[in-house]
Structure 1
Amino acid sequence: MHDVRVELTRRLGTGDAVVLGLGSMIGAGVFAVFTPAAQAASTGLLAGLAIAAVVAYCNATSSARLAAVYPSSGGTYVYGRERLGEFWGYLAGWGFVVGKTASCAAMALTVAAYVAPVGWQPYVAAAVVLALTGLNYRGVQRSVLATRVIVSVTLLVLAASVIAMFLSGRDPGGPSASFSLGGVLQSAGLLFFAFAGYARIATLGEEVRDPARTIPRAIPIALGLTLVVYAAVAVALLWRLRPEGVASLADPLAHAVPHGMAPVVRAGAALAALGSLLALVLGVSRTTFAMARDGHLPRVLAAVHPRFGVPHRAELAVGLVVAVLVLLTDLRGAIGFSSFAVLTYYAIANASAWTLRRSAVPVVGLAGCVVLAFSLPVASVVSGCAVLAAGVLAYLVFSRRAKASS
């Protein structure tokens, strides 16, 4: 008896895919990532942003080329398997699932940090995750509509904040600290965390109409718009607060605007993180679905809801895992670990793209991912290597069992 390969419904157009990418990238760190980046790079913050953008562009280009050839859910999990072999596809999928699960926890905790009183934040974060899981369960089109609203509001808040910062006087400050190449690279690795949302477009390949045309268009559009927003916010923050001011504040945007605007900025930050979390859960559940369908995760997760057309068991599993994580982890650890794991994911994407077209883009992307990953704080590198090694060990164990049973 042959297995029936379950597939998802193609409902999303180019605009929908761009919105989901923007919801992931703009909400992923624009309100918080500049603080650790400024701590690492000081006056070299913009150089770090430029390096992160170049690596992100290479990754996006490689992902778009691959997605046009392999328009299935799973992103680099599929690309690595088809171009490099089953092990590399598995490693990419493992890195994406664990890294982006940590990102989900980070975004849920960010939402709670802006809206919940101290002591209640983990519980509010867990409630937010479960609520968004329920929204995704009802169908991807509802998720796109919610993300479109969130992205629109976030962009309005950011535009108003940038204008207000340039109209305000510049804070007094002494000479800024000098920067080093290592500090700039570390800031680029941290800033990359905020750019990485375009992976969500590729992981939705099985739900996009005409993926060979839609995905290669949607990814660079979303990335380009995000870069413009990030550059505008970074320049405004550096002008208003100076590098040392940005580095000293956990919420620099709220402090950089006039006092009366601060509540609006805080509300916008919570909403942006909410939009990012919505798209993140969507992407992680699709990769989980693809890996389960291929037997690398429990096959019970490879089910599509007969009415809503979504991988409902994978979505429920991801939502429950993230809800538990927010009760056990903190924001800093989640961000650092996520960056390392996702850079590993994109390194495999670039290696896969090189087998399609041997050009400079995947080479630069691969080298950039490796350099930025090992420029991150030591704790992030160690924990990232440990979890990836655990994934490799699990793969070897299950592979041997599968061979023995056959």
Structure 2
Amino acid sequence: MTDHAGLARRLGLTDAVVIGLGSMIGAGVFSAFAPAAAAAGAGLLLGLAIAAVVAYANATSSAQLAAQYPTSGGTYVYGRERLGDWWGFLAGWGFVIGKTASCAAMALTVAAYTVPPAWQRPTAVAVVVVLAAVNYRGITRTARLTRVIVTVVLLALAVAVAAALAGGGTDPGDAPVWSLGAAGPYEVLQSAGLLFFAFAGYARIATLGEEVRDPGRTIPRAIVVAFAIAVAVYAVVAVTVLHALGPDRLAASRAPLADAVAAGNWAWAEPVVVVGGAAAALGALLALIAGVGRTMLAMARQGDLPRRLAAVHPRHQVPHRAEIAVAVVVCVLVLTTDLRGAIGFSSFGVLLYYLVANLSAFTQAPEQRRFPRWLQVLGAAGCLVLVATLPWQAVLVGCLVYALGIGYRIVRLTKVQT
């Protein structure tokens, strides 16, 4: 096997859109609205709109850059090419740490929907191992399984929305769905930062750039299509759970969609939501392992992670060592962390990742541009604002982990120079 072999271009437009949807319409749609409601109450709808605007600006930057640099690594590569090695490292490190935490959250979500509490952590570890094995066998198997999962999730969401609305919802006087209530600008922005966690899946399309056919045309189209579908789904679900539960009950819920269905009269629909929640988390975890593994591949090729992780399997043509490393770290996190704490930390790392993407896209030449520069300015400013309004615990832990990564790279560069 070789350390710098290329990956096979096997994915078409439909496959790329499905992988993006599998990442965005994942466990976030079943869990992210609760912490957002705790931050802003019914103001989470405005927070969702803000998150969608920032995410769209980021998506256009990613699409524009991926068309010019159709290789694995996403913004890690773009930052290096457009801004310099350190910028690329900061983006890659943020993506790896943030999305590795997301992997653990997705695995725990699968277990929470399917087994009793005593079995949840062992089950989550088993899920990680199985999906890592699927990714190990090749990207086309990943795309096929993701297509099945996305179909199941969309059907489950349709049933959940219908069941919740059929139940009549809450009294509008007690739960003003379209009112900000007591939420101020800070609370709304914090909810936007937490909900951004749910939109970040389009990055998975860009990180698979080395495996997409006709990437200059396919990647931008896939990102925009997948993002538009995800925004529509999240908007419908957000209004539904607020209508069914009200802001206070939603904020306290550990399984918002399941509780929204339980509030209605369609008791038979609850198992459908359970299956949908587990399938959504499976789809997100499957795509996350693929995306993180390929970013690690790109970083290892440049020496920013151990070079042994740059190996590509001669038969399956996947970064197998990187994916095994991801699976091992995620299993450790599953055994030591909880579900809710991962969302804020993941948003911290990913928002900084997209800050670098927007800055990189801003520097592209006119002939490489597909979207106006003001979108990159909006995206960069939005990332900074949302990072600043995240829960302070997430910001603190994120800064500490970033400091560790910077320290590692300084030590490595020092050794190379001596």
Q: TM-score, normalised by structure 1?
A: 0.97
How big is the alpha-carbon RMSD for the aligned residues of Structure 1 and Structure 2?
1.3
Deviates more, 1:251-260 or 1:81-90: 251-260
1:385 aligns with 2:399: yes
User: 2 CA distance for matches of 1:371 and 1:102?
Assistant: 22
Equivalent residues of 2:4, 2:311 under 8 A apart: no
Task: Give the alignment of 1:163-312 within 5 angstroms.
Answer: 163-172=162-171, 174=174, 177-257=181-261, 258-312=266-320
Write out aligned runs for 1:152-171 (5 A): 152-171=151-170
Structure 2 distance, partners of 1:12, 1:45, is 36
Of 161-170 and 319-328, deviating more is: 161-170
Q: What's the offset of the Cα at 1:100?
A: 0.5
- 1:8·1:207 contact (CA, 8 Å) conserved in 2? yes
2: CA distance, partners of 1:201 / 1:137: 18
1:395 aligns with 2:403: no
Using the aligned pairs only, state the percent identity. 62
The 8 Å contact of residues 108 and 273 in structure 1, kept in 2 or not, is answered as: yes
State which drifts further: 79-88 or 313-322. Answer: 313-322
SS of the aligned residue for 1:236 comes to helix
* Residue 320 (structure 1) aligns with: 328
Structure 1 residue 65: Cα displacement: 0.4
CA distance in 2, matches of 1:333, 1:35: 13
- In 1: Cα distance, 2:161 partner to 2:113 partner: 20
Bigger mean CA offset, 81-90 vs 350-359? 350-359
Secondary structure of 1:326's aligned partner: helix
1:207 to partner: Cα distance: 0.5
Question: 1:27: which partner in 2?
Answer: 26
**Judging changes above 3 Å, is the alpha-carbon distance between structure 1 residues 322 and 399 closer, same or farther for their aligned structure 2 residues?**
same
Name the CA distance, whole Å, in 2 between partners of 1:248 and 1:90.
38
Question: Where does residue 337 of structure 1 map in the other structure?
Answer: 345
Deviation digits for residues 213-232 of structure 1 (CA, Å, limit 9, x no counterpart): 11010001000000000001
Partner of 1:12: 11
Contact between 2:4 and 2:312, CA under 8 Å: does it hold in 1? no
TM-fit CA distance, 1:50: 0.2
Q: TM-score, normalised by structure 2?
A: 0.94
The alpha-carbon deviation at position 81 of structure 1 amounts to: 0.2
How much does 1:174 deviate? 2.9
Which residue is equivalent to 2:356? 348
Letter in 1 for 2:167: S
Provide, for residues 185-229 of structure 1, a one-character-per-residue CA deviation record: whole Å limited to 9, x for no partner.
000001000000000000000000111111010001000000000
> Hey, what does 1:84 align to over in structure 2?
83
Alignment partners' CA distance in 2, 1:175 and 1:362: 37
Query: What is the Cα deviation at residue 175 of structure 1?
Result: 5.7
Q: Which runs of 5+ in 1 are unaligned?
A: none
Q: How many Å apart are 1:260 and its aligned residue? A: 2.3
Q: What is the aligned partner in structure 1 of residue 143 from structure 2?
A: 144
- Is the 1:43–1:178 Cα contact (8 Å) retained in structure 2? no
Deviation at 1:167, TM superposition (A): 2.1
Distance verdict in 2 for CA 1:175–1:304, change over 3 Å: closer
Deviations 1:297-327 (A, max 9, x none): 1111111111111111111111111111100
Q: Residue deviations 1:120-147, cap 9 Å, x none?
A: 2111101100010111111110111100
Separation in 2, partners of 1:235, 1:13? 33
The CA distance in 1 between the partners of 2:269 and 2:151, in whole Å, is 18
- AA at the equivalent of 2:380: L
Structure 1 Cα separation of the partners of residues 141 and 251 of structure 2 = 38
Are the equivalent residues in 1 in contact too, given 2:3–2:312 (CA < 8 A)? no
